[in-house]
Amino acid sequence: MNKLLMHPASKPVVFLLCLLPFAWLAYGAFTDGLGANPAEYLIRATGDWTLRFICIVLAVTPLRVMTKWNALARYRRMLGLFAYFYVVVHLLCYSWFDMGFEWGDIAKDIAKRPFILVGFSAFVLLTPLAATSFNRAIKAMGARRWQMLHKLVYVIAGLGLLHFFWMRAGKNNFAEVFIYVAIIGVLLAWRVWNFASKRNKARQPAAGVTRGGEKPLRTR
């Protein structure tokens, strides 16, 4: 599988797969295939795909570690940028179809409705992650600071869930919300478990002794 993931053609294939939802929505919009309220459908569908891509991004590391498919790391940046792409389209659909690009009304709506404020906050936090998702930014910031910045993805995932929950609360429809909560909850729980396991393994050699009662020699 690693060889397949490292194949030169694999990235273009993944890129096209990530574009398929957008292409399908665009086709539906031009052919009147999005139901009785296409504007609402586009807003919700692009929001759904944003949350799905965030889940996919969070799943890359656990899947890579558990399967030993280390080449999966090559796709994390692209998948993260597609999450940003879909949230931008989501915001544009809301600004256009719901608000008619009336920027004053948009600002008032964001301040007035908590679920929109939370969603917009997730977009704002995701923007610096997308803006620094290239090698030159990593070198300029330093790997440690870059990694700290990109841990915002956990906050963004939480805000995305809250935005989705409040949106569905209006119709008292939480079934899909619980699915995303379960998926993201499992992915974050795995990270906590993996971090704790690494810390325990790092402590064991320092505290251990040899069978003869002597402390093991430390190597640099």
Q: What is the pLDDT of residue 219?
A: 47
Residues in the chain: 220
Half-sphere exposure (Cβ direction) of 26: Cα atoms closer than 13 Å: 7
pLDDT in tens, 32-52: 999 999 999 999 999 999 999
Q: What is the pLDDT of residues 176-195, one digit of tens each?
A: 999 999 999 999 999 999 98
**Where in the sequence is the domain holding 49, given as residue range(s)?**
2-196
Provide the number of structural domains found in the chain: 1
> Is 214 within the bounds of a domain?
no
Q: Is residue 209 part of a domain?
A: no
pTM of the model: 0.89
pLDDT tens digits, residue range 194-207?
A: 989 888 888 776 55
Mean pLDDT calculated for residue range 115-129: 96
CA angle centred on 93, ends 12 and 86, rounded to 5°: 30
**Residue 218 forms part of a structural domain:** no
User: Is 36 exposed, middle or buried, given 0-12, 13-18 or 19+ CB atoms closer than 10 A?
Assistant: exposed
